[in-house]
Amino acid sequence: MADKSLKEKIEDRLHSWRRELEELQLQLHLGRKEAGEKLEEQKKHLRAWMDENRGRFKEIEEEVGEEANEFKARFNELVDKLRKAPAATKEEAQAQEAELSATMDKLQEEAEKIEEQGTAKAANMMDDFQDRMSRFQAHLKVLTAHYAEEAAEEWKEFQEEAREKIDKLKGKTAEWQEEAGEEWKEWRGEINKAFSNLASAFKRDKK
């Protein structure tokens, strides 16, 4: 099977991301209990994806050598944290979100190093990995904020801000689909950054 063209890669990625953004919009309307259940579902899906791709990661480790040691350690650390029991309180939910986010941030830093140092095969694997992390972090921020929120007025404010950010990014993906450049890595970096920024924007500062 022939490799996909740059245009096909971009269209596939954008189509997938727009579906993800639409799901995020739906999550803004979940009840608190449903948000907690959806969060556990997202964690289970990410853990399953990581388990399914262990073979691919093993190949990259063999290819890159010692440079992959830190990535492997953080990878296993994230899998262990994803196995933790569901949060029973607002404080536990916020603590778990902070731990997961910190580990994923470090993992993505290691993935970027491997992407720069490895072959095209390693770069593609790290590309897939960082994309998956960015998606999960956005769901993690939204669902944790929803589950942990106590005051209805605070949640309503968060919901409105989140909806505005999602709509803006959806519009941006449409622009990218029309204006995509010639370098996949450069383009992918822009859209991954945008999705990561979306996740970060969902993190509310509690007073």
pLDDT reported for residue 50:
92
Residue 64 in contact with residue 114, Cβ under 8 Å? yes
- pTM comes to 0.74
Report if residue 207 sits inside a domain. Answer: no
* Domain housing 188: 6-201
Report if residue 108 sits inside a domain. Answer: yes
Report if residue 32 sits inside a domain. Answer: yes
Domain count, the chain: 1
Q: Which of 4, 3, 44, 21 is nearest to 191 (CA)?
A: 21
Distance CA 93, CA 124 (A): 33
Regions of the chain with pLDDT less than 70: 1-7, 9-10, 118, 149-159, 162-163, 165-166, 169-170, 172-207
Give the burial class of 32: count Cβ atoms within 10 A of its Cβ; 0-12 exposed, 13-18 middle, 19 or more buried: middle
Report if residue 143 sits inside a domain. Answer: yes
